[in-house]
Structure 1
Amino acid sequence: MYRKAELASSPPSEFELPFGGRLSSDNRWVKMAELIPWSEFEAEYAQNFPTEKGAPAKSFRMALGALIIKEKLGISDRETVEQIRENPYLQYFIGQSSYSNELAFDPSLLVHFRQRISPNLINKVNERMVEKMRSITPIKPEKKKASDGKNESPNRGKLIVDATCAPADISYPTDLGLLNGARVHTEKILDILYKQIKEKTHKKPRTYRNLARKDYLAVAKQRRSTRNKRRQAIKKQLQYIKRNLAHIEQLIDLGATLEGLNKKQYKTLLVLTEVARQQQWLFDNDKQSIEDRIVSLSQPHIRPIVRGKAGKSVEFGAKLSASCFEGYVFLDRMSWDNFNESGDLKAQVEAYYRFTGYYPESVHADRIYRTISNRAWCKERGIRLSGPPLGRPPAKVSKSKKKQALEDERIRNAIEGKFGQGKRRFGLNRVMAKLDNTSGTVIAISFLVINLATWWRRLFCVFLCLFGKRTPVFGLKIIPTYKWGDSIQKKLIFNSV
C-alpha cells in the first residue's frame, strides 16, 4: 500500500536536529529539493501499489531522492544509505522531517526503487524541473532582426541533437569465452537436476568438464591464436554444450523437473539454448554477426552497438538519442538495439516546440542527421539545419560561410561535453545495473543529475559575479536583478551561452 507523504514539502527551518540549530537554506541539497516537483508525480508513482494491504511503501520523494543522491555522489547502494544516515541535509532531501541515526531503508530497496520508477517518469520529472530552472535563471534571448509580420511566433533558440552509447558492466565478449561460460552453466544445471533423481539411477551423465576446461585454456591463454585454432576450440565447446543439453533432456524424461531450478537458473537455461543456437549458426555459416546476438549470459538484453569511434569501434550497452538546448540535456530515446538516430530528428524538434512554444532557429547535428527528408522538413518550418548543403561543394567558399560552419561546430560541441560529463562524473561510462529496466532508470537519472549540476554551476557563477565583481564568467554575461540574500525565486538573467 502507499500513503501520500504529508511532510515532503516542509521548509528546512522546520527540520528537527537533535543538537539544536537549523539547516541552512543556501545548502545545495536544499536548493535542489526546491527544484524537483516531488508532489506532482507522486500519484503516478502510487500506481505501483494498487492494493491497500500490507506495510506502507516508502514515499516517492524518498525513492527518487535516494537514486539522485547515488548518481550525484557516484557511490554504491550501501554507501548511499550510510551517507543518508550521516548527513542531515540528505535526510531532508529525501523528505524526512527530523534527523535520525537509524538507516532510512535497507540498501536492497534501491533495486526496487529503480524498478518502480520508470525512465518515462524520470523524463517527465526532468522536463518539469528544467521548466522551474528556466523560470528562475532564464537565458536572455539573442537580438533578432524585425519580423515581417507574417510569422507571429518566429523561431528562437538553438537545438543540439546527437547520439551516444552507455556501456554496460560486462567483460569484453568473445565467442570462445561466451561458450565456455555457457558450458559451465549447463554443468551446474545438470548437477541440480541429477540430485532430484539420484535415488532412481546411479549413473550420472558424463560432462567431461575437466577436459573441456583444458581445451578452453589451451587457446584462451595464447597471446595470439590463429583463426583455425579458435575455430577448433569453438567447435569443441559447442559439442560439449550440445552433449550437456541432451543430458538435461534425458534427466527430464527420467523424472527431473525444472521446478527444482530457481527463477534465475531457469532464465539462464533459456539463454544458454539460444546462445548455442546462435553460435552454431555462426560456426556453420562462417559469419561474424547475427540478428539479436547475445553477448552476455547474465545480461542477455545487451547488444553490440557499432559506433566507429577511435579506440572503440563497437560498444556493448544501450544506445541513447539526446537533445540539448540552453545548456540542459534531455533523453529522447533509449534502445538496446542499434538504430539510425537521424529518424529521431523530427520528434526531437517537435518536443522542443511543445516544451518552449516555438520552433528552434537552428538545429545543430552531425552528418548522419542531414538527410534529404530532414532538410526538407526543417526548411518547411523555417529551421536552419547545420552543415554544408547537398551536392558538389563549391570551388570557393566565402568567409562568412566558413565562419558559420565553425560556429555551428562550436555550438554542437556542447552536447559532446554533456556526454563526457555524464560518462566521467555520473556513471554513464559503465552502467552497473544488471536488469534492462533498472539500467534504463539509471541512465535517465544521470541526465536529470546533469541538469541539476548545470543549474547549480550557474547559480555559483552568480555568486562569483556578485561578490567578486566579475562580469564574464565561463562565457556567461550575467545581469543580477537582486541581492544574494533575497529569495531564490527572483530572476537572474543570463545572456546566450
Structure 2
Amino acid sequence: MVKIQKISEIEPTLGFTEFDILKRYRQSFELSELGRLHALFPFSELAQQMQLKESPLGRKSYFSAEGKIALMVLKSYTNFSDSQLIEHLNGNIHYQIFCGIQIDPLHPLTNYKIVSAIRQELAAHLEIESLQPILAESWKPYLENLHVCMTDATCYESYIRFPTDVKLLWESVRWLHRHLYKHCLDLHIQRPRNKYPDISRAYLSYSKLRKRRQSHTRRIKRRLLQLLEKLIGQIRALHFTYKNELILSSDYQRRFLVIQTVLQQGKDLFSGKKVSNRIVSIDRHYLRPIVRGKETKSVEFGAKVNNIQIDGISFIEHLSFKAFNEGVRAKDCIRLQQKLMKVRVKSLAADSIYANNANRKFCTKYGITTSFKRKGRAATDEKLRKILRAALSRERATRLEGSFGTQKQHYSLAKIKARNRKTETLWIFFGIHTANAVCMIGKVEKKKKMVA
C-alpha cells in the first residue's frame, strides 16, 4: 500500500466522484489564505534555480522539488515543530494540496524526521543571492515606493542555553570522557585514570548553589581546565597509539578541534587575557556573542542579519554568525535594492549608526535624501527636509522594526532550533520570506480592486 502520492500523478486515474471532491477542495484552497500564499511563491523557478532533484538518494521521493520548498514555507507559516507539522499534514487536506501530495488516511506519515532531511537537502543548495531576485521579480508589480530604501540589522537568536565559562568547560569534559570510555571499550583496554568522578561531584555541588562566590567559580574553573587538559592528552595518546584501529568521523574530529580551542580560550580567560572570537557552544561552534546593548538582552547568540525593506517587504542584504558593523553597509543596501527593483534609490531611512561621513557623502553625491540628523549649516529648504526626515524615520521605526517582531513571534524565528550553520541560514531565509508573502496577500488584493 502506497502511503503518499503526488496529486499530479493520481488525478488522471481518479473516478468522477472522487475527482469532483478533490476539485471542490482545490476551489476552497484557492480562496483560503493558504491558497493565496501558495500563489505568491514562484515554486518552479525557485526549484529550478536550486537545481533540486526529486530522487537525490536514488529512490522516489514523497515530495516533488516544488513540494519540498512548499513544505519549508508551510513550516514557517504554521510555526509548528517537525512532529507537529507531520501530524497536521496527515489530517489537513489544504496542507497536502499546498505541498502537492495526497496522504492515505489509513497509512499516515509517522517519520517526522523527513522534514529535517528535506531541510538539510535544501540547505545544501541554498544561495540567497540567486533566489531573492526571483522573489523580487514576482512581487515587484504589487509594490509601491520602489525608490525608498529602509535598512536595519537584527539578531535571529539560536536555541541554546545561556553560555558561561563553567558550563562550556563541563560540556567539553563530559564529551571527552564519554568518548574516552567508548574508545577503551572498543579497543578492550583499561581506561586511563583521571579525576573525572571527583570533579563531576564538585560540579554538581557548584551547580546547586543558590549564591556562587567568585572564589567558588574560580576554583571549579581551575579544576575543569586541569581535567580538560588531562583528557585531551589521554585521547591524543589513544589516537596516536591506535590510529589504525580507531575510526574517527569528520564530526568527531571537528568537535575535538573545537574543544582544544575551548581549552586554550579558557586558559587565556582564567589568566585575565582578552579573547576574541569566543566559542559559546561546542555543538554550534560557529556562533559568536553579538553585543546588542538592549535593555533586556545585552548579548545575543545567533545570526546577525542586515535587512533592507521595500514597501514593507524585507530582503536579506548580509547574514553572518559573527558580529559586524552594519553602519558601513549602507552603500551595499542601496546597490542591492537597485539591483532587485531596477529603480534608482532616491530616499534612505536608517538609524544613527549608518549616519557616518562616508555614507553622508555617498548620498549627497547621488542625490539621495536620508533620515540622518543634519550636520552643518541649514539649507534654504530646511523645513521641508525636516518633515521628510521625520517621515522616513517614523516609517522605518514602525514598519521595519515592527517586521522584526512579527517574524520572530509568528514565523519560527524567535529561537531557531536548527543544528548547523546551513540549516539555520535556510530557516531564517524561509521565515523572512514567508512573512513577506503573507504581507503581499493584502497588496495583491488591493491591486486587483484598483484594476477592477
Residue identity opposite 1:75 in structure 2: F
Give the secondary-structure state (helix, strand or coil) at the position aligned to 2:75. helix
Give the secondary-structure state (helix, strand or coil) at the position aligned to 1:429. coil
Counterpart pick for 2:356 among 363, 371, 378: 371
Give the secondary-structure state (helix, strand or coil) at the position aligned to 1:308. coil
Partners in 1 of 2:246 and 2:426 — Cα distance?
A: 32
Tell me which moved more, 106-115 or 253-262: 253-262
Counterpart pick for 2:242 among 251, 255, 265: 255
Residue identity opposite 2:46 in structure 1: F
Partners in 2 of 1:437 and 1:337 — Cα distance?
A: 15
Tell me which moved more, 331-340 or 270-279: 270-279
How far is the alpha carbon of 1:224 from its aligned partner? 3.6
1:21 has 2:24 as partner:
yes
Partners in 2 of 1:190 and 1:409 — Cα distance?
A: 58
TM-score (ref. length: structure 1): 0.79
Identify if the C-alpha distance between structure 1 residues 87 and 456 changes in structure 2 by more than 3 Å, giving closer, same or farther.
same
Identify if the C-alpha distance between structure 1 residues 84 and 124 changes in structure 2 by more than 3 Å, giving closer, same or farther.
farther
Counterpart pick for 2:391 among 390, 407, 423: 407
Tell me what 1:343 maps to.
Answer: 328
Partners in 2 of 1:310 and 1:242 — Cα distance?
A: 38
Counterpart pick for 1:296 among 272, 281, 284: 281
Identify if the C-alpha distance between structure 1 residues 355 and 435 changes in structure 2 by more than 3 Å, giving closer, same or farther.
same
Work out whether residues 151 and 309 of structure 2, in 8 Å CA contact, stay in contact via their aligned partners in 1: yes
Tell me what 1:334 maps to.
Answer: 319
Partners in 2 of 1:350 and 1:298 — Cα distance?
A: 36
Partners in 2 of 1:326 and 1:438 — Cα distance?
A: 28
Tell me what 2:432 maps to.
Answer: 447
Work out whether residues 304 and 314 of structure 1, in 8 Å CA contact, stay in contact via their aligned partners in 2: yes
Counterpart pick for 1:217 among 204, 207, 212: 204
Residue identity opposite 2:324 in structure 1: F
Identify if the C-alpha distance between structure 1 residues 6 and 378 changes in structure 2 by more than 3 Å, giving closer, same or farther.
farther
CA deviation map 1:427-462 (0-9, x unaligned):
2221110110000000000111111111224457x5
Structure (1 or 2) with the greater helix fraction: 2
Partners in 1 of 2:54 and 2:405 — Cα distance?
A: 37
How far is the alpha carbon of 1:164 from its aligned partner? 0.6
Residue correspondences, number: 434
Counterpart pick for 2:263 among 276, 281, 290: 276
Counterpart pick for 1:185 among 175, 189, 198: 175
Work out whether residues 168 and 280 of structure 2, in 8 Å CA contact, stay in contact via their aligned partners in 1: yes
Partners in 2 of 1:381 and 1:32 — Cα distance?
A: 37
Please provide the CA RMSD for this pair. 3.1
Percent pairwise identity: 23
Partners in 2 of 1:324 and 1:229 — Cα distance?
A: 49
* Superposed counterparts of 1:29-428, under 5 Å: 29-46=34-51, 54-57=58-61, 58-96=63-101, 100-101=104-105, 102-103=107-108, 106-118=111-123, 120-121=126-127, 124-135=130-141, 137-139=142-144, 157-198=147-188, 201=189, 203-255=190-242, 259-284=246-271, 286-287=272-273, 289-390=274-375, 403-413=387-397, 414-428=399-413
Tell me which moved more, 289-298 or 59-68: 289-298
Work out whether residues 158 and 363 of structure 1, in 8 Å CA contact, stay in contact via their aligned partners in 2: yes
Partners in 2 of 1:424 and 1:376 — Cα distance?
A: 38
Work out whether residues 322 and 333 of structure 1, in 8 Å CA contact, stay in contact via their aligned partners in 2: yes
Partners in 2 of 1:374 and 1:34 — Cα distance?
A: 39
Unaligned segments of structure 2, at least 5 residues: 1-5
TM-score (ref. length: structure 2): 0.86
Partners in 1 of 2:37 and 2:17 — Cα distance?
A: 17
Identify if the C-alpha distance between structure 1 residues 215 and 157 changes in structure 2 by more than 3 Å, giving closer, same or farther.
same
Tell me which moved more, 420-429 or 38-47: 38-47
Tell me what 1:480 maps to.
Answer: 449
Give the secondary-structure state (helix, strand or coil) at the position aligned to 2:279. coil
Work out whether residues 123 and 444 of structure 1, in 8 Å CA contact, stay in contact via their aligned partners in 2: no
Give the secondary-structure state (helix, strand or coil) at the position aligned to 1:75. coil
Work out whether residues 323 and 332 of structure 1, in 8 Å CA contact, stay in contact via their aligned partners in 2: yes
Partners in 1 of 2:263 and 2:440 — Cα distance?
A: 50
Tell me what 2:3 maps to.
Answer: none
Partners in 2 of 1:254 and 1:130 — Cα distance?
A: 58
CA deviation map 1:359-384 (0-9, x unaligned):
22210001111111111111121111
Residue identity opposite 2:38 in structure 1: A
* Superposed counterparts of 1:2-17, under 5 Å: 7=8, 16=19
Unaligned segments of structure 1, at least 5 residues: 142-155, 463-477, 484-497
